[in-house]
Structure 1
């Protein structure tokens, strides 16, 4: 299975994540605390349901969606920085590149500048996934998607984008990435069936291990 992008330059956004890596989705009913916490690098998403309990207590990277209403809601929450998963994270990931000002009006959808200001007092690294990563994600989903999305292109989920970001440039000798809590369900604009198929292909190629969800 070809994971690198279609150019000689590899995307290796997280070279420090060289040991056991667990990526934890938000599907309900996850009960894998011991396995997740045993990883040297643990990636979580947004509100991270189950954090501190059945989904474990470690988080090295927290991905926060930086476009749309969820981030607008967080920015209005004066206690957002006090959330345990935010306080415990070593670094943050913003999955979407910053939109130019002319593309962010009349209704604001991109909150990248605002979330960078919000997180600045914590003094922790913030990684913004580049457009090259989005292009790579769309290329991988296009052959297996039945819903091309807006402008005829698949609209990858944050979970897919972040997982691909960690896999690109990660040699197989580092071992497969453990993917927990991926239910491939949610906002109907994402190509969930195609994403599930791609995860299965990556698993068959030895790049990741997809642990089943439990309800």
Structure 2
């Protein structure tokens, strides 16, 4: 059967989409799930940055673990393959010394949380990140460190999760934020996939 997969970023979600998002077969949110509310409440999967300060913040206290979105999620996805970020540590120490904790890996903490709460853990494979770097090159990215977790998740769903005929929809992606993500190229990548009929942007 055809499924509808909604991937909801932490950016602004247009009014009137909550019911549309909640009616999807699968809803994926990110990190602190700031999209919950205006972007509906259903959450099946929480995709997390499992390295650096965002991971430490989520695991260090009880707020993330006790949030309504995380409590209802059946899966946690770690979007940063540990081997990819271990390999980045040396080059980043030379090129971006201020990102000294960016590659600190907390995958084990998310694995322990999933084991203790009966959730599934998925690690997006390093090959997905490599393939995305290759495809982003066609859109003239400026110098960047890594693609955003949102784009890694979208690409992974398109290539490895969605079956033929499934509708993959996105909302809450403004393609702006941290300076070391290639957001201009990411926007062009997304629009190219929309034009090709592989992706749909929910616009209210």
Deviations 1:83-122, CA, capped at 9 Å, x for gaps: 1111010111000112499767985611111221133211
Structure 2 equivalent of residue 69 of structure 1: 53
Judge conservation of contact 1:199–1:210 (CA < 8 Å) in 2.
Answer: no
Residue 144 to residue 73, structure 1, CA distance change in 2 (3 Å):
same
Q: How many residues align?
A: 191
Does residue 97 of the first structure (1) align with residue 81 of the second (2)? Answer: yes
Structure 2 equivalent of residue 5 of structure 1: none
Q: TM-score, normalised by structure 1?
A: 0.80
Does residue 202 of the first structure (1) align with residue 193 of the second (2)? Answer: yes
Which residue of the other structure, out of 140, 149, 157, is the alignment partner of 1:166? 157
Deviation at 1:124, TM superposition (A): 0.8
Instruction: Name the Cα RMSD after superposition.
Output: 2.4
Distance 2:46 2:135 in 1: 24
Deviations 1:162-207, CA, capped at 9 Å, x for gaps: 0111101435522x31111110011110000111001100001101
Q: TM-score, normalised by structure 2?
A: 0.84
SS of structure 2 residue aligned to 1:44: strand
Distance 2:159 2:2 in 1: 12
Structure 1: stretches of 5+ with no match in the other structure: 1-16
* Higher helix content, 1 or 2: 2
Task: Using the TM superposition, name which of 84-93 and 72-81 deviates more.
Answer: 72-81
Judge conservation of contact 2:175–2:186 (CA < 8 Å) in 1.
Answer: yes
Structure 1 equivalent of residue 128 of structure 2: 133
Distance 1:36 1:80 in 2: 22
Deviation at 1:61, TM superposition (A): 0.9
Distance 1:54 1:101 in 2: 33
Residue 101 to residue 54, structure 1, CA distance change in 2 (3 Å):
closer
Which residue of the other structure, out of 7, 26, 47, is the alignment partner of 2:32? 47
